[in-house]
Amino acid sequence: MKIKTLFFSIVMLSTVCTTNNGTVYAISNDTNKTFEEEFTELGYKDVHHAIKDFETYTGQDIKLPLKVPPITFTHCFGKFNDVPDNVKLEIRCLNDKLGKNHYKMYVRPLEDKLELRNNVPKKIYELTDGSEAKLINLEIHEALLFESNNLQYMLSIDKRVVDKVTPNVLVEIANSIDN
């Protein structure tokens, strides 16, 4: 539980330390729904409750990375999916003013892990525990796929910020999971 608390403390600290450069942002939707309400309607909730749902369903404790990408976020949401053959926890960290600051983490039991069929890894990295992490190119994201603690993890970052969140940064985040 300490690791999860630390992860989200870091995320919240990065949020608090965000500064505004004086730019004014317009809200593009016509409804009066808040950013949070829109995600809630899509099934997202606070990360802690989504983690608890996943752990209860799978009977496994999740160890999350201690590090987060070096970009600012205003919100983090969690979502647990218990559809057969697609059980997963999704954690999304976003910035409601900078759409490119979008980081996703998926955690799946190994029996529901993603298999790379047509998506050949761009590069394969060795993690500090000796396991492999595969960098894959998705349509608008780059992702690092690896296994740890009997779970499959996928760390995904918007391609518009790969200059700040390089593949090596994703590997550092993956290596920060306390095994």
How do residues 77-133 score in pLDDT, each as one tens digit? Answer: 999 999 888 899 999 999 988 888 889 999 999 998 888 776 678 899 999 999 999
Tokens encoding 54: 């996943």
Give residue-wise pLDDT tens across range 19-60.
334 444 444 555 577 767 777 777 778 899 999 999 999 999
Phi, psi of 149, deg, nearest 5: 55, 40
Dist CA 11 CA 94 (whole Å): 10
Question: What is the reported pTM?
Answer: 0.79
Give residue-wise pLDDT tens across range 2-19.
445 444 444 443 433 333
